[in-house]
């Protein structure tokens, strides 16, 4: 191949790569380059059983995820993207009943309703989407210690689910 042909291929390839309208990252997020800001509202706790720190932990975890995995700037008002929601469920219940009617395992479940608005592309938005995650634990464990161990794990799964639904678009 001649130098002119190689040069033409390089120029055309560069132009094509620079004209793409979606940014891709190693996290899998695909966010339009026009999107610069996100507002993440506090997630109030409306569950019948209330964990007093869950609302703040969840909100902080969402903000941390978007801040560390995207180039978006978190704002308190407005925002090209808006993420809001509420905690609708926080409960524990037996799941594996033994022959003597005693639970071998209990399940800690956290449920959320989330609304996501993309002000620049409404087709990406979703409203009151339910996200639920749980962890099973031995029934002989104290619920207070279970909360300390499993709430951060469940929160991490929920944050990952919300992030994927909002900006990964697989």
- Is 128 in contact with 92 (CB distance < 8 Å)? no
Inter-residue contact 100 to 86 (CB < 8 Å): no
Assess contact for 74 and 87: CB atoms under 8 A.
Answer: no
What is the reported pTM? Answer: 0.79
- Please give the Cα distance from 101 to 41 (Å, whole number): 43
Residues 6+ apart with CB under 8 A from 46: 86, 87, 88
Domains in the chain, start-ordered, CATH in brackets?
35-168 (3.30.160.150)
Neighbours of 61 (CB within 10 A): 19
**Local confidence pLDDT in tens for the 170 residues of the chain:** 666 656 556 555 555 544 444 444 444 567 888 999 999 999 999 999 999 999 999 999 999 999 999 999 999 999 999 999 999 999 999 887 766 667 788 999 999 999 999 999 999 999 999 999 999 999 888 888 899 999 999 999 999 999 999 988 65
């Amino acid at each position: 191949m001649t130098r002119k042909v190689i040069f033409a291929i390089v120029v055309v390839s560069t132009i094509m790569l620079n004209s793409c309208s979606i940014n891709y990252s190693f996290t899998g997020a695909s966010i339009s380059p026009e999107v610069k800001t996100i507002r993440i509202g506090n997630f109030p706790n409306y569950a019948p059983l209330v964990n007093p720190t869950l609302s703040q932990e969840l909100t902080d975890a969402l903000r941390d995820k978007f801040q560390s995995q995207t180039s978006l700037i978190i704002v308190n008002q407005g925002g090209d993207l808006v993420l809001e929601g509420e905690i609708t469920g926080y409960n524990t219940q037996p799941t594996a009943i033994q022959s003597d009617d005693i639970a071998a395992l209990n399940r800690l479940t956290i449920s959320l309703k989330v609304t996501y608005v993309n002000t620049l592309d409404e087709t990406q938005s979703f409203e009151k989407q339910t996200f639920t995650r749980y962890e099973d634990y031995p029934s002989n464990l104290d619920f207070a210690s279970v909360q300390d161990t499993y709430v951060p794990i469940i929160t991490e799964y929920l944050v990952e689910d919300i992030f994927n639904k909002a900006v990964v678009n697989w």
